[in-house]
Chain A
Amino acid sequence: MFAYIARRALQSVLVMASVAFVAFALFQYMGDPINQMVAQDASAAEREALRRVLGLDRPFYVQFLVFLKNIATGNFGFSFRVGSPVAQIIAERLPATLELVFVAAMFALFIGVPAGVYTGLHRHGAMSRFMLTISLIGVSLPTFLIGILLILIFAVLLGWLPSFGRGQTVQLGFWSTGFLTTSGLKALILPSITLGLFQTTLIMRLVRSEMLEVLRTDYIKFARARGLTNRAINFGHALKNTLVPVITIAGLQIGGLIAFAIITETVFQWPGMGFLFITAIQFVDVPVMSSYLVLVALFFVIINLIVDLLYFAVDPRLRVERSVSAH
């Protein structure tokens, strides 16, 4: 088990290094940053001086190593556009995105899993068919359209919920949270539904098909032959066996939520990292863009490590590799 975790950790480091390289390469392909920093009429000597100060005259690999060292120590450089440290800008935006993603993920899990179990158990019921039809909409409608429709209905027509922004937030140290005010909570509803709907329906369909699969297995048949109650069979035996694939996909999807948040944040003017990224692209704010890439990759890697640990919690076959030979 330890070896497995160590191997996964090493893989994560490699993934992070590759992403860092791409983020670094952004600087090289986005044109000469010196041009954006100096006045139009600066002389060649002035440009060279600045280049030397910023270390841009050094060899490519040295620059990359310096870049790696910087991001590893949380030094993401300065935004080209606003001039303040990228780390600070991101720290301001991060809570908004993480809270949105968290609520969307909870929504996806706590609606998706029970709905999947229900439709798996009552395969031919009218309610199951209805839920499956609805889920088709979730899978096929693009996110921005769902967001706009929700805004139209709940913000414009009914006026129940705000159509943009985070509402009032409360500052807890560096973290600004929307969980502690009514307007903050209300503001979370529409964006998190928009963001999580696709994942909800995906998880529901996955749990459903896994349930159908597991219910056909010999050990479920044998569990019935032992006279166990339906409750024990469906939830104790069947659901738990669907968890390994569900954890995999759910992990990937929650990572995906962070990336998809770009669209939702744009639709709802949500002051998060995705929104920040879009603005950064418009202004070719390379340090912000590359930091965003590195951070999103970091979240993906962390989620994957958590998924790996969950496997061990769920599946004993992974836990005890050595005793397989014992008879």
Chain B
Amino acid sequence: MAALLEVEHLRIEFPTRRGTLVAVDDVSFSIDEGEVLGVVGESGAGKSLTGTAIIGLLEPPGRVAAGEIRLMGRRIDDLPYEEIRKIRGKQIGAVFQDPLTSLNPLYSVGRQLIETIQTHTDLSPTQARTRALELLQEVGIPAAERRVDHYPHQFSGGMRQRVVIALALCVNPKLVIADEPTTALDVSIQAQIIALLKRLCRDHGTAIMLITHDMGVIAETADRVAVMYAGRIAEIGPVRSVIKEAKHPYSHGLMGSIPKINDTKERLDQIEGSMPRLTEIPPGCAFNPRCPHVFERCRVERPELLDAGATRASCWLYAHG
């Protein structure tokens, strides 16, 4: 069985006056039906761009320069505008970081739900309204019959993010891309929203690409996790393995654990230095200036994703099995 979503050798470029910036470089991963893939990495690693490219919403001049994105075996990265538009919302939903600004302030939440439902289905206005009410109840909005006609500013941040989730899931998409869905929210509400997202997607068999900085959320929610660094995937694998015994030196440092590779015993709670800017990515392995295990080959040749036990890591340490 083919995976639900396959991303292969994705490369995202920004042509600028001073040359082309490669923001995402040779990224490959897949998501199965109903699976939760966590995506982590420092700010600027290319997480959001990857998600945006999947739903075809890269802002020009940004563009997919190479690679392929397939949904249920069908290539979607080269579709004409109208075709990819019909996939957005219907097959792939999206939830963004800031619930306060994701809703149009001038329309009631009901209107925005009904509009989305009617865009993708043949439901009549009354049926769409009934569905909108059900959705609001499903995402836990109290007194939904009354609230359906309220405007976004009448909801708290957490409630708004629930509405956003209802909007993203309103026609049962196969996949939801959730880009830091709780970062802007109160800490006390974050867990509720993640739990809600997870429950809804489990109930409907919806897969999630969950972009976040919060390793706790990943540990609790994700089936697999991809660690991104400087526009590339450093490591990808089952969530337990990546958290407990990350193989790539970068994800290892990110998890704040003690490296066990090559009998090195020094602590690496924090990785020295910072992620290079797009214009300053070194040749070879992008992590080599910060890597405690760097050796000759790392500076000349770029590592592919290699089998590293339970996970796959792009690191030359795993070149010979």
Contacts and interface: CB of A to CB of B under 8 A. Distances in A.
Given A219-B105, A223-B104, A240-B106, A229 B119 contact: yes
B83 to A, nearest CB: 11
Given A219-B104, A222-B164, A227-B88, 18 more contacts: A217-B101, A218-B96, A218-B102, A221-B96, A222-B94, A222-B96, A224-B85, A224-B88, A225-B96, A225-B168, A226-B88, A227-B120, A228-B115, A232-B119, A240-B106, A317-B105, A317-B151, A327-B155
A314 interface: yes
Interface of A: 217-219, 221-230, 232, 236-237, 240-241, 314-317, 320, 323-324, 326-327
A226 B89 contact: yes
Nearest to B89: A227
Nearest to B87: A227
Contacts of B119: 226-229, 232
Nearest to A315: B106
Contacts of B94: 222, 225-226
A186 B55 CA distance: 54
Contacts of A225: 55, 57, 88-89, 93-94, 96, 168
B159 interface: yes
B154 A323 contact: yes
Given A221-B96, A317-B151, A227 B102 contact: no
A97 B57 CA distance: 51
A219 B120 contact: no
A219 B103 contact: yes
Contacts of A324: 153-154
Contacts of A219: 101-105
Nearest to A238: B104
Contacts of B93: 225-226
B111 to A, nearest CB: 10
A314 B106 contact: yes
B98 A218 contact: yes
Contacts of A317: 105, 151, 153
B204 interface: no
Nearest to B143: A326
B127 interface: no
6 closest pairs, A vs B, by CB?
A227-B89, A227-B88, A225-B94, A218-B101, A316-B151, A226-B89
A245 B101 CA distance: 19
B150 interface: yes
B156 interface: yes
A232 B115 contact: yes
B293 to A, nearest CB: 40
Contacts of B155: 327
Contacts of B55: 225
Contacts of A223: 104
B85 A227 contact: yes
A222 B88 contact: no
A320 B154 contact: yes
A226 B98 CA distance: 15
5 contacts: A222-B94, A222-B103, A226-B94, A228-B89, A316-B105
A219 B86 CA distance: 18
A257 B76 CA distance: 53
B124 to A, nearest CB: 18
B7 interface: no
Contacts of A221: 57, 96
A2 B85 CA distance: 43
Nearest to A323: B154
B241 interface: no
B180 to A, nearest CB: 13
Contact of A226 (B105, B106, B151, B167): B167
Nearest to B81: A230
Given A317-B153, A326-B154, A226 B96 contact: no
